[in-house]
A and B are shown apart, each in its own frame.
Chain A
């Protein structure tokens, strides 16, 4: 692309984003229920017993049963829509789901949604390994604690409404990490990379039952909290209709029946005193968070993630490029065995998802060799995984570059008496480097975008961070800023590679 074209592309991209960001403002609206035929509940499908996938791949759970009953009574067809927890606000605001109904904690989110009355009272508890030396909350000092992204456990430690006690306790953790689902959290706990999980008691009870005696729950709670159904802000019409139906179900005993079915009789609280505070809140009262507030917050929080992304990028390049050369030499070596090994390695690395490879690098030591993994290994695992994967791609690019060099060059070098090593470094390598520059540029640009896969190991690079901020702000602006960063980053990469290519134009 010509330089001027690139500038135009950048300007276009910027104006597009500006348009989108402005469009992201408030768009309160009440829904007309008269011709409503479907009711779409958004839920995190890995959150038993509230909503999860059973052995027949059916979505089941307490919340699902409740929603089903509500839909039936209103003559709606229920659509069970599993969502990525980080994108729940985007789903809700764009209208792809009607509500978030999924053990959804009201506390701390009172102003972000139009709420039903609270129907479950839940507390945040701590799970550790059975043989752990942690018994009291105090013992968590200096330990690594993991919570789900944007979970109430996270809010209990770092949210605006977190108690002083919890904030102080959290400050003494070695680290508070976030993962995207509880399965991942338990894998981490089992592998030893974290010391404790903080989570909802209902989920915790269920998980302990499923996973047996390897884990135990601490006696004291981190916090207490309530669950409600979250609707898009201002959508009181739908909220009221659902609430009326729920109240009917409470009156005729259906609600209690469903609660008992899921073993939640002790947790439910619908109709009890003090459960309608968020419900009574008028949407218009909600504190208006301005665009610029959010923007300032994002700009304050994102740079840490950008740094992490840059670090992954730079270290991966530094390790994978030479490693790729080594691999390429093995791939082209005279020994058929070595060649075969390199070939298989390359085909595996190129034939399986990078995300899976990252998981194997991180969890492999524990699940294959029972070596406990420490939490600092997370970062190394990201770099190792990326480098191993990209080395395979670079090796093949180098190989095609080397093979494209005319055989006459080797022959001229041989007749002049150059050794094999001299021939490679003096004659072949410089010409290969020039030839492979365009495909290497492609790979490098892919790498910039691939860094976001580090989230698979719960390593917070920029994209993960942007998703977390987006979840906390209930806004998609942070994601656009992240997108802009990737674009500018790649713009610079392309610019540098272009300069390099020009520099090598002195010969053909």
Chain B
């Protein structure tokens, strides 16, 4: 079952063509790692998938349902109401967390489920507390984001995304704003999610982690997918010259 399917996606910013004909898909329960040099368009791809950017050309489906269709070379999105519905299928964890600074940890997690999804308050609070426990922050529910360390904030952000009960989670370099010794905590949480068969699309520079956790690795460069496949193939035995170069640089 394909949870996400993108066909022939093209995206430019003015004259700058950032994504050039990208096609990819993600199966339910699959963990996909996207790696590649800076400026290769990884974030842009994720932002198109999470509807923060609009695609210029190409089509996109969530769980087989159309989100954006290609009509003679131009992308046409479905209506506002359907988009809103589709949005509840995924969550996104940002590089710099983007928690709401004026809300407590608990309110950050519960506000959208209560006011956007209109779920039962009690159920939402219970879910939120379970999630906080899962990310190891059960004592911090009344703190404000500014009172937490970067690593703690990122774990709250993951809990916030999970509280929406999404079917897939996107991560855009979730650890690169953090000190290396704090990274481990985040990666542990993500590894646990992978074990629970959460569908995840992770943009990362942690090659070892990608190799460890991902079912599939996508290597991007210059706005195209250069190579993709099982970590054992792409990371340990890259076929492409550019992939080899990139991995060599990362090892240093």
Contacts and interface: CB of A to CB of B under 8 A. Distances in A.
Contacts of A412: 94, 98-100
Interface string B105-116: 000000110011
Interface string A415-440: 11111001000110011001000000
A485 to B, nearest CB: 37
- Place the interface of chain A in its size category: 20 to 34
Looking at A417, A430, A507, the one whose CB has the most chain B CB atoms below 10 A away is: A417
B100 A415 contact: no
Looking at A415, A419, A430, A508, the one whose CB has the most chain B CB atoms below 10 A away is: A415
Nearest to B87: A417
B54 interface: no
A116 B204 CA distance: 96
Contacts of A409: 98, 100
B50 A415 contact: yes
Interface in B136-159: 144-146
A412 to B, nearest CB: 4
Interface residues of B, number: 26
Interface string B213-238: 00000000000000000000000000
Contact of B111 (A406, A426, A431, A507): A426
Nearest to A417: B116
B143 to A, nearest CB: 10
A411 B98 contact: yes
16 contacts: A409-B100, A411-B52, A411-B94, A412-B94, A412-B98, A412-B99, A414-B52, A415-B50, A415-B90, A415-B92, A416-B112, A416-B116, A422-B115, A426-B111, A431-B102, A434-B102
Nearest to B80: A419
Interface string B82-99: 001001101110101011
Contacts of B207: none
A408 interface: yes
A441 B50 CA distance: 40
Contact of B51 (A414, A506, A507): A414
Contacts of A434: 102
Interface of B: 50-52, 84, 87-88, 90-92, 94, 96, 98-102, 111-112, 115-117, 144-146, 160, 164
Given A415-B92, A416-B112, A507 B84 contact: no
A417 B88 contact: yes
B96 A408 contact: yes
Contact of B100 (A417, A419, A427, A508): A427
B166 to A, nearest CB: 10
A408 B94 contact: yes
Given A408-B98, A414-B51, A507 B92 contact: no
Contacts of A418: 112, 115-116
Nearest to A426: B111
A430 B52 CA distance: 23
A430 to B, nearest CB: 5
Given A415-B52, A417-B88, A422-B116, 5 more contacts: A409-B100, A412-B100, A415-B91, A417-B117, A426-B115
B52 A507 contact: no
Contacts of A406: 98
Given A408-B98, A430-B102, A417 B146 contact: no
Given A412-B94, A506-B144, A507-B144, A417 B164 contact: yes
A415 B102 contact: no
Contacts of B87: 415, 417
Contacts of A422: 115-116
A411 B144 CA distance: 20
B52 A431 contact: no
Looking at B84, B115, B160, the one whose CB has the most chain A CB atoms below 10 A away is: B115
B50 to A, nearest CB: 6
A422 B100 CA distance: 13
Contacts of A431: 101-102
Interface string A390-406: 00000000000000001
Nearest to B99: A412
Contacts of B51: 414-415
A244 to B, nearest CB: 80
B52 to A, nearest CB: 5
B145 A507 contact: yes
A416 B164 contact: yes
Contacts of B144: 506-507
A411 B52 CA distance: 7
A201 to B, nearest CB: 69
Nearest to A422: B115
B216 to A, nearest CB: 23
A437 to B, nearest CB: 13
Interface string A209-245: 0000000000000000000000000000000000000
B116 to A, nearest CB: 4
